Amino acid sequence: MITEFLVFVVVLVVSLILLQKKPKNFPPGPLGLPIVGHLPLLGQSPHKRLLEWKKKYGPIIGVQFGSFRTVVLTDAKVIREALNMPAFSARPNIKAFSERSGGVRKGIIFTDGHEWLEQRRFTLKNLRDFGFGRNTMEAKIQDEVIELMDRFAATAGKPLQMRNVFNSAVLNALWSIMLGERKKQDDPELAEAVRRLTASIDENNITASLAIFLPWLAEFAPKLSGYEKMIKENEPLVKFVQKNIDEHNKLHTAGEPRDYVDSYVDEVKRTTDPDSSFHEKNGHLTFAVLDLFAAGAETTSTTLTWLFAYLVTYPEIQEKFQKELDDVIGRERLPALSDRSKMRYTEALLNEVMRFCSLVPLSVFHWTSEDVEFHGYTIPKDTMIMPNLYGAHFDEEVWGDPENFRPDRFLDANGNPKKYDTVLVVSLILLQKKPKNFPPGPLGLPIVGHLPLLDKLSTELLSMFVKAVRKLQIFNAGFYLAVGLTEKSRMICAMSRDAQKK
């Protein structure tokens, strides 16, 4: 007992010394606690607490999150500048994230350097080849919209849980690109994929953050830290994706790709360089597909869920939105990308939804690969970089009234789109930058861009009369790391306006 007490005291003293001793010229920040650093000071809404700290310490804040020395960026300008610098482009090697792939980082989201560049380049090219940004993808999404409309109509005004409905539709569109197969949205296998994807994401909560920021706790107390449950929910999802890839490959013909997975398999067979991420020994395919599902389906469906929540909460905005749909498109056809330039209020509404919900408030973590001089501070190598996108989206100096949901802020006095360089959507995480002097356009979502957002807003679907069946509750996400704020409590009733008139 005495020995254990002495060990505790030594650890406590050493932790205090290390916390007090910041690297030379490190950004300022509040005083942390032993061992856990600043984690307990963040409360249930870390993104909001970090925005409060900005008022005292500025937009670049130095903290200690458990075992990780961290710099938080809470300003749009510094976030953009940092994420465009190669020194900030690495990813932290966090046990809780790499364990899903046998302790080695694989896929797209958690890799960096040459592996990430290879995977990203291949993925963007092949997504384009198999429909993204083309009429073929527009047709696929319209198929999902039609079935989605039928599902809404079948509810006959009964309460409907929005998140899973959108997840099924978006995941199905991605599934057809990844694996060349379209399922019915109520297909049991698709429902299982949605369930597992949602469960794996929901386990990244405040408890799991202990496993992420205190890896030694995950090692010695996997159950207490939330690590055990986090891994338990991830394993079935990995096996599910692998099972479908294996079945898909039984019909694969070399050199005749039907979809993304076929192209990936061909690339693996062509690759002889053992250092390439496409070499057969590296096994990235399952996790690349998993990342695309997670980043594409969950972000898009959750954004649409928030959209409906706001339309229910602000009926006057819903009416303006419906009017533009009626004026521009009418009620006899689905929207198309060619309608985009005429749907200015719709663009403004989508921009405000993405600003207001700040879907991934603390972004995906970055890591410094070398010492960096940044805005007068010295940020050492192996420092975690945490962009606070919520802070950029709720900066009073930029937005004036950030707490108000007001789509008109994205329109000028003449109703034309107003550009804000300070809106940072999740696409920035993957550095999907526009080419220099590229024409302006609305904000897109990661990987899937603008297409799902526009086509999902079909005339019939969103001209429905929607109403809340219980009070709007904004879900408090705590540390929803690299996932985001999810509107989980909302259920709505949907009936067409024609039905309301009868």
pLDDT tens by residue, 23-54: 899 999 999 988 889 988 988 788 899 999 99
* Distance, CA of 406 to CA of 133 (rounded, Å): 29
| Model pLDDT for residues 108-117, shown as the tens digit of each residue | 888 888 898 8
- Domains of the chain plus CATH, in order, are 44-501 (1.10.630.10)
Rg (CA), the chain: 23
Residue 432 CB contacts under 8 Å (≥ 6 apart), including other chains = 124, 444, 446, 447
* Distance, CA of 38 to CA of 386 (rounded, Å): 14
Q: How far apart are the first and last CA of the chain?
A: 78
Q: Which contacts qualify for 429-438: CB closer than 8 Å, 24 or more apart?
A: 429/360, 429/363, 429/364, 430/108, 430/120, 430/295, 431/83, 431/84, 431/89, 432/124, 433/84
| Model pLDDT for residues 455-490, shown as the tens digit of each residue | 334 433 443 434 443 333 333 323 333 234 454 445
> Residue 365: which of 124, 106, 70 has the closest Cα?
70
Sign of CA dihedral 246, 250, 255, 257: negative
Coil, helix or strand for 79?
Answer: helix
Whether residue 378 has pLDDT greater than 60:
yes
Cβ–Cβ under 8 Å, residues 378 and 26: yes
Which is more confident, 397 or 297?
Answer: 397
* DSSP label of 452: H
| pLDDT value, residue 404 | 94
Structure tokens at 364: 């995906």
Ranked by mean pLDDT, the top range of 6-15, 102-111, 382-391 is: 382-391
Which is more confident, 472 or 359?
Answer: 359
pTM comes to: 0.80
Whether residue 491 has pLDDT greater than 50:
yes
- Secondary structure string (H, E, C) spanning 157-168: CCCEEHHHHHHH
Of all residues in the chain, the percent with pLDDT exceeding 90 is 28
Name the band, by pLDDT with cuts 50, 70 and 90, for residue 4: low
Name the band, by pLDDT with cuts 50, 70 and 90, for residue 339: confident
| pLDDT value, residue 87 | 94
Name the band, by pLDDT with cuts 50, 70 and 90, for residue 13: low
| pLDDT value, residue 433 | 38
